[in-house]
Every structure is written in C-alpha cells, then in structure tokens.
C-alpha cells in the first residue's frame, strides 16, 4: 500500500540557499519530484532548460496564463515566474510528492488551493548573509541584488504563514531538516488511517 503524494512548497529570500538545499533533498529522496517552473528571467550560467526552469518570453508566459496552464504565477523583480499545472497533476496521480521552489505570493496561492500543502520557509540565521551570498553567487547586478534584498524584507514578513522555518547555515543540516519534515508529514495519523481500517472501523 503506497502513501499519497504531498505538495511541499519551499520559499525564502533570494540568496537563502533554497536551490542549494533543495538539490540535496532531491538527490536523497526519489519519491519527491521537483516542479520545474516557467520564467521570463534570462538563464544564469550553468542553468539548464527544462531542468532548472523553462525559460520563456513574456509573450509565451502570457499565453500560458491565458490558456490556464499555470497552477500559480507571480511577478518577482521585473520577471514572471509560474508553475506548469500538468506535470504536478501527473506526478500526484503517480503517488509522488512534488516540491516547489516558489516565492511567497505563489506559495499563498498554492496554500489556498491545497490547504494540505506543506509550507517551508528557508532563511539564514542572520539577514546580512543574504547580501553576502548573493554577491558570492555573482549572478545578479548590484541593482538586482538591491531589489532582491528589498523584496526579502517583505518575504520575511510572510514567514509566520509557513508551517516550518528552516535555518540554512549549513546546507546538509538544512536539507536533513526538510527531509525530516517530509517524513514526519507522511507519518501523521490522518495519513496512516488506511492501515487501521482492517482492524477497526474508523
Ligand atoms: P537561492 O536559491 O535561495 O536564491 P542559492 O541556493 O542560489 O540561493 O544560494 C545562494 C548562494 O549562497 C550560492 O552561491 C550558494 O552556493 C550559497 N550558499 C547556499 N547555502 C549556503 C550556506 N549554508 N552557507 C554559505 N553559502 C551558502
Ligand atoms: P531566481 O530568479 O532566483 O531563480 O528566483 C526568484 C524567485 O522566484 C525565488 O524566490 C523563487 O523561489 C521564485 N520562483 C521560482 N519559480 C517560481 C514559480 O513557479 N512561481 C513563483 N511564484 N515563484 C517562483
């Protein structure tokens, strides 16, 4: 008897280390599939089409919205980001869990649609780390870093809407915490009721 798939939504300010931590969770847990988002942002060096994102034009993105192909979408620092609906449905039907790396507006849309979604907010223990990490990553201009940090302040104000807050000072520790959250959620008694019905009527 297999367990049902879960929706795991990971958000947090840019530079918190979400991508780094998520890739470690994905390596370790093959029952979880990463939801590849569509974005109008230009690819960074090393980013792969269909693996990190579906990179698209503003026009194509608008068409996806009009054709109702996105589960949620939001504007973030002058670009659009959205979750293609079809792969999420397909993976849930297979009993797999789906993990999303999305910003807070999208996370709230998912929580509204699917109240059972598990929301995880990732931050470093000190806010100042965000700027340091964005500079170390070296993918954004000074102006974009400034905009991302400004947005981060709004994102922090939404953190208490999340079910869990994971501190990423060490990516392995943070990945282990997310893996533990997924495991604990799967073990909730409401999820395991089907194992009891053979013995008693519930
Ligand atoms: P996000 O996806 O949240 O924007 P990234 O995963 O791209 O963040 O990480 C931003 C930068 O910080 C990258 O250069 C990454 O290697 C680095 N990083 C990630 N986690 C940590 C950590 N715990 N300590 C120091 N640097 C980190
Ligand atoms: P980045 O440009 O750093 O890859 O991502 C910027 C922000 O967009 C991050 O907070 C990331 O979580 C978010 N993001 C990525 N994909 C999606 C998506 O499909 N929907 C929403 N709402 N946000 C997304």
- Interval 102-158: pLDDT, tens: 999 999 999 999 999 999 999 999 999 999 999 999 999 999 999 999 999 999 999
Residue nearest atom 20 of ligand 1, based on CA coordinates: 17
CA atoms within 13 A on the CB side of 19: 11
Q: Provide the strand spans (E) within 56-178.
A: 70-76, 79-84, 97-101, 118-123, 164-167
Cα torsion 37, 168, 129, 8 to 10°: value is: 20
The reported pTM is 0.97
Asked whether the predicted pLDDT for residue 197 surpasses 90, the reply is no
Nearest Cα neighbor of 3 from 196, 202, 194, 200 is 194
- By most ligand atoms within 8 Å of CB, the mutation choice from 77, 101, 168 for ligand 2 is 101
For residue 70, how far is its CA from the centre of ligand 2 (angstroms)?
A: 14
Q: How far is the CA of 2 from the centre of ligand 2 (A)?
A: 31
Beta-sheet pairing, 79-84 with 70-76: antiparallel
- For ligand 1, whether the C-beta of 137 sits within 6 Å is yes
41 lines ligand 2 (CB under 6 A): yes
**Residue-wise pLDDT tens digits, 51-83:** 999 999 999 999 999 999 999 999 999 999 999
81, burial (CB in 10 Å: exposed 0-12, middle 13-18, buried 19+)? buried
Supply the residue whose CA is at minimum distance from atom 21 of ligand 2: 102
42 exposed, middle or buried (CB, 10 Å; 0-12, 13-18, 19+)? exposed
**Maximum CA pair distance of the chain?**
63
Q: How far is CA 140 from the centre of its chain?
A: 21
| Closest ligand to residue 101's CA | 2
163 three-class SS: coil
CA of 102 to the centre of ligand 2 (A): 4
Burial category of 1 from C-beta neighbours within 10 Å (exposed 0-12, middle 13-18, buried 19 and up): exposed
Q: Is the pLDDT of residue 5 over 90?
A: no
């Amino acid at each position: 008897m297999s367990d049902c798939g879960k929706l795991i939504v990971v958000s947090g300010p840019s530079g918190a280390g979400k991508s780094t931590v998520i890739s470690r969770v994905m390596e370790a847990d093959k029952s979880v599939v990463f939801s590849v988002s569509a974005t109008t942002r230009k690819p960074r060096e090393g980013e792969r089409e269909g693996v990190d994102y579906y990179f698209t034009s503003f026009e194509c993105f608008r068409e996806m919205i009009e054709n109702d192909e996105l589960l949620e979408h939001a504007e973030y620092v002058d670009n659009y980001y959205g979750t293609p609906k079809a792969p999420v449905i397909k993976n849930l039907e297979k009993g797999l869990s789906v993990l999303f790396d999305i910003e807070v507006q999208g996370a709230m849309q998912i929580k509204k649609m699917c109240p059972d979604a598990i929301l995880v907010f990732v931050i470093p223990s000190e806010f100042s780390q965000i700027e340091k990490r964005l500079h170390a990553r070296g993918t954004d201009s000074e102006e974009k870093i400034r905009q991302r940090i400004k947005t981060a302040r709004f994102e922090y104000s939404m953190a208490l809407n999340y079910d869990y807050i994971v501190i990423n000072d060490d990516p392995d520790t943070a990945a282990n915490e997310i893996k533990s959250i997924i495991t604990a959620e799967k073990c909730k008694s409401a999820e395991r009721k089907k194992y009891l019905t053979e013995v008693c009527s519930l």
